[in-house]
Structure 1
Amino acid sequence: MKRSIPIGRYHLLDRVSSGGMADVFRAKVVDADGTERLVAMKRILEQYAEDPAFVRMLVAEYRLSLLLVHPNIARIYELLQTDEGYFISMEYVDGKDLRATMYRASDRRRPVDPTDAAYLMARAVDGLEHAHVATTHDGQPLRLVHRDFSPSNILVSYDGSVKIIDFGIAKADVDRERTAQGIIKGKVRYMSPEQAQGDPRLTGQSDVFSAGSVLYELLTGTPAFTAPSEVELIYAVRRAEPVPLRELAPHVPEGLAEVVEKAMARSRRDRYQTAGEFRDGLVTFLRGYAPNYRRTRLANYMRSLWAREIDIEIRTLLEYALSEEPAAASVDLLASASLEESVLEVSRALDVGSIPGIADAPAVPSLPSGTPIAVRPDDLFAAELNAPSLPPDDHRS
């Protein structure tokens, strides 16, 4: 019988991923009103938790997260310091990251449909636009740039929702340590030319280029930039001369290819000026090419790719549901959490009905008291696609 591990008011269930800086666990928490919900718990690896500079970055990420409440940005709820180390409590997304999904699609020879790719990226870029125009509580522009927008930092749920994660190296113009000129942070393959140059004054246009690069790879199955070494890769990104998209993927509609090419223009004068413009270009394509698009198409694609994992996840959830007493907390238990038994909650994914228009209606867990909430009065995607009338995206707790 599977048992959870208590960490403060949370109970860790199982590890869902391991990265270079943190392990991520699925966990459950009971709120003050008695509601039990799932969250993701990121445990910072010991070597980083002991680094004061990294801890400062961690605190900065948490502070920034309170200003980024949007349906396409995964929320961060709480930063904890415990005997077992630093933990970040985050919104739980029942799906896979885009990197894993792209690998699976390649293995199964089931490339993503161009309309699914356009919808997915439109949602992600809508989240970027929200971050780029975010302000402090007193209205001061943050001018936030993600700086690491890549497939592994985009989560796609089994119900077709899209979330950006890891603003950990994001940079704002307020309350920050300035990056020294020439210091490069982020995944080189998805950088903008100016980021690969080490430009310390990046703008949202850098994220636009990165998003275009991700969409290029999603559509072609091939990274926009490749090279035998990281140094040569940096120079390739600086040149920004990828193979024309339709030479690699002639099935991609010309209109969509043009949107990607504009997002990836080397000159910032020729590139979309904002993430919002890029989003609008994708929405315009969808409106003309697939006006009846439904989010359920992306959901069906995800569930077909990950059918076996979904079955395992459901059975694992039932095992935890039958367990009543949590095990004693220990570092050994944390370290031995089975990666092979990693599971993600999928109950919502199995009950996705026909969703009118292109709008999301994600479930919203409760937030800590005092968290600022952004309420969007209408749904851009539904309006742009002339979809049936939809309720507003309301993110109040």
Structure 2
Amino acid sequence: MATFGRYEILDKLGEGAMGVVYRARDGSLGRVVALKMLSAELGAEEELHQRFQREAEAIGRLSHPNIVTVYDVGEASGQLYMAMELLEGDDLRSLIEKRAGIALADRVRILVQICAGLAYAHSRGVVHRDIKPANILVGADGRVKILDFGLARVAARSTITRRGVILGTPDYMAPEQAMGKGVDRRSDVFSAGAVFYEFLTLEKPFKGKTLHAVLYQIISDEAEPVLTLNPEVPVRLAAVVHRMLRKDPEQRYAAMEDVGQDLAEIHAALRRSGGRSTLPAAGAPLSDEARAKARERVLQGRSLLDAGQAARAVDEMREVLRIDPSSDEAAELLWRAGRKLEDGRASAPGLDAASERRVADLLARASPGRNDADVRAAVAELVLIAPDDPRVSELLRERSGRHSSGRKR
């Protein structure tokens, strides 16, 4: 049996741009790990040698339930290595390819956990830079783990290429990354949005046949509306995804935490509707301290709701669901508080004059016979600014029907 330092190599798990990953046993602790080794060829290049070290240091500073745990980093026989927890489960790529029958509420629960992991990494100054379905694993216990911060760097230092080779997966790359511009946490927001899009529709948002075609679409074209591909997705959920995919970073969500809060509300509403769950409850049991904190906030939220302070109750229940995503009581209260807020909005005036003119203009641009790229752009903006407008709903139904007919032919 081959050995590497104190590790006994059991079998090969995979190979990527940075090196090879093996299943290995730690001879000191007897623990089975995923052992990632920088390839000898790359290790000889000082720049990549240093990048691997930065990667390891960045991940080593992260400690979160939704991020893979790093046990050990070092060098042996002239090669750098990183020993990580060995994970069992399916990554999103395999779930998408198998067209796994996961209930919509469970899909959103997975997305909420992805947001939590990335928000934590961003709070520590780490940008992933290569979010893709293959880097997100759903364990047998329902817990999501974000893998391979192989292109992660402290936010302020970034490049897109090395000798003309793109660093990052083009299908999910943010426009600014594709153009070699500065990358920050909003780039991860875009990439996560592309992953969310595919997980909800089973189709990639940008589907060029060549690398350059994909990059062109990412930079210039809008993705087909989510609701065209999957009419079962709630309009609010589709709007979240399309906002994540805005070309201009300033128009996206500023932080993954904000995405997670919106998705938590949507998840609560889906759970309240009684949808069947196809996944087990996620994660390890809460500590007594965390459970007590969550319970205290639930009681506070209930008091706020009874006092007519629905907005504050929503904030409290969002925090509870951040601590304990499986809290049915918090989900119920969040749904009730959200309904009260929606009832209040329903009694308020509709779109202002400027917004109404913009909606009318976009509806005209989305009419049959127009350029398809222009139509997709118009529909994407309509979903963002007027998701509840009956004219927008009708337009989405028409496009969904045409898309379904086209696929049948």
Instruction: Indicate the structure with greater helix content.
Output: 2
Q: 2:148 aligns with which of 144, 153, 166?
A: 166
Q: How much does 1:184 deviate?
A: 5.1
Q: Deviations over 1:147-184 (max 9, x none)?
A: 1111111122122111112222222147x576689995
Match of 1:29 in 2: 26
Counterpart-to-counterpart distance in 2, 1:295 and 1:124: 21
Match of 2:4 in 1: 7
Change (3 A) 1:45 1:381: same
Say whether 1:133 aligns with 2:123. yes
Match of 1:75 in 2: 69
Report the AA paired with residue 39 of structure 2.
Answer: L
Say whether 1:288 aligns with 2:288. no
Q: 1:38 aligns with which of 23, 32, 39?
A: 32
Whether the 8 Å CA contact 2:72–2:84 is kept in 1: the answer is yes
Q: How much does 1:383 deviate?
A: 5.6
Report the AA paired with residue 231 of structure 1.
Answer: H
Q: 1:117 aligns with which of 95, 107, 112?
A: 107
Match of 1:381 in 2: 322
Match of 2:404 in 1: none
Counterpart-to-counterpart distance in 1, 2:167 and 2:64: 25
Whether the 8 Å CA contact 2:160–2:180 is kept in 1: the answer is no
Match of 2:284 in 1: 361
Change (3 A) 1:288 1:5: same
Alignment TM-score, normalising by the size of structure 1: 0.68
Match of 2:15 in 1: 18
Q: Deviations over 1:220-277 (max 9, x none)?
A: 1110001122112111001240001111111222232122122222233332111000
The sequence identity of aligned pairs, in percent, is 32
Say whether 1:62 aligns with 2:52. no
Q: 2:179 aligns with which of 197, 218, 226?
A: 197
Counterpart-to-counterpart distance in 2, 1:362 and 1:292: 26
Q: 1:188 aligns with which of 159, 167, 170?
A: 170
SS of equivalent residue, structure 1 residue 123: helix
Match of 1:97 in 2: 91
Say whether 1:153 aligns with 2:135. yes
Counterpart-to-counterpart distance in 2, 1:269 and 1:61: 27
Q: Deviations over 1:296-346 (max 9, x none)?
A: 7335xxxxxxxxxxxxxxxxxxxxxxxxxxxxxxxxxxxxxxxxxxxxxxx
Change (3 A) 1:291 1:84: farther
Match of 2:370 in 1: none
Q: Deviations over 1:1-30 (max 9, x none)?
A: xxx543333222222223343222222225
Whether the 8 Å CA contact 2:160–2:177 is kept in 1: the answer is no
Q: Which runs of 5+ in 2 are unaligned?
A: 287-292, 295-319, 331-409
Whether the 8 Å CA contact 1:382–1:388 is kept in 2: the answer is no
Counterpart-to-counterpart distance in 1, 2:285 and 2:4: 27
Change (3 A) 1:177 1:199: closer
SS of equivalent residue, structure 2 residue 195: helix
Counterpart-to-counterpart distance in 1, 2:160 and 2:245: 24
Q: How much does 1:293 deviate?
A: 8.7
Match of 1:278 in 2: 259
Counterpart-to-counterpart distance in 2, 1:152 and 1:241: 24
Q: Which runs of 5+ in 1 are unaligned?
A: 135-141, 300-354, 364-376, 390-397
Whether the 8 Å CA contact 1:17–1:24 is kept in 2: the answer is yes
Q: How much does 1:66 deviate?
A: 2.2
Report the AA paired with residue 180 of structure 2.
Answer: G
Say whether 1:226 aligns with 2:207. yes
Match of 1:328 in 2: none
SS of equivalent residue, structure 1 residue 298: coil
Change (3 A) 1:40 1:5: same
Alignment TM-score, normalising by the size of structure 2: 0.66
Change (3 A) 1:185 1:255: same
Match of 2:42 in 1: 48
Match of 1:374 in 2: none
Counterpart-to-counterpart distance in 1, 2:14 and 2:325: 37
CA RMSD of aligned residues (A): 3.4
Kindly tell me the number of residue pairs found equivalent between the two proteins.
Answer: 303
Match of 1:237 in 2: 218
Counterpart-to-counterpart distance in 1, 2:233 and 2:155: 38
Counterpart-to-counterpart distance in 1, 2:44 and 2:136: 28
Report the AA paired with residue 274 of structure 1.
Answer: A
Q: Deviations over 1:167-216 (max 9, x none)?
A: 22222147x5766899953111101222222212x221111111111011
Q: Quick one: higher RCO (CA 8 Å, sep 6+), 1 or 2?
A: 1
Counterpart-to-counterpart distance in 1, 2:90 and 2:73: 23
